[in-house]
């Protein structure tokens, strides 16, 4: 699947897109964390930090529980985006 890294995340890790294989969202976050050292600033213990948004095929995923993330199955045709949430107030 394609994983797109957006904004400051792409700047931190030095890439905007990577192709990976994973059966589900939890496994994907784990693979990202293991293969890209700088991504640990936004993904820790296979969980996105609070200021990170994960989008799968255009749908925002608001889950942080690893078991629930494991229920989100992925295929090679999927696109996952890791996006920093814009702050404001």
Identify the burial level of 70 via C-beta atoms within 10 angstroms of its C-beta, where 0-12 means exposed, 13-18 middle and 19 or more buried.
middle
Is pTM, for the whole model, over 0.75?
A: yes
Q: What is the pLDDT of residues 21-78, one digit of tens each?
A: 999 999 999 999 999 989 998 999 989 998 999 999 999 998 878 788 889 999 999 9
* Residue closest to 51 by CA, chosen among 75, 4, 84, 76: 84
Could you give the CA distance from residue 23 to residue 76 in angstroms, rounded to a whole number?
9
Could you give the CA distance from residue 8 to residue 26 in angstroms, rounded to a whole number?
22
Q: How confident is the model at residue 88 (pLDDT cuts 50, 70, 90)?
A: low
Could you give the CA distance from residue 73 to residue 26 in angstroms, rounded to a whole number?
9
Residue ranges covered by each domain of the chain: 2-84
CATH entry 3.30.70.2610 includes domain 2-84: no
């Amino acid at each position: 699947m394609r994983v797109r890294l957006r904004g400051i995340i792409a700047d931190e890790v030095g890439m905007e897109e990577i192709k990976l294989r994973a059966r589900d969202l939890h496994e994907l976050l784990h693979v990202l964390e293991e293969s890209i050292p700088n991504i640990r600033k936004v993904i820790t213990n296979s969980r996105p930090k609070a200021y990170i948004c994960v989008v799968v095929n255009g749908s925002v995923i608001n889950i942080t529980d690893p078991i629930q993330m494991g229920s989100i199955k992925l295929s090679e045709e999927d696109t996952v985006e890791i996006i920093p949430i814009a702050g404001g107030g």
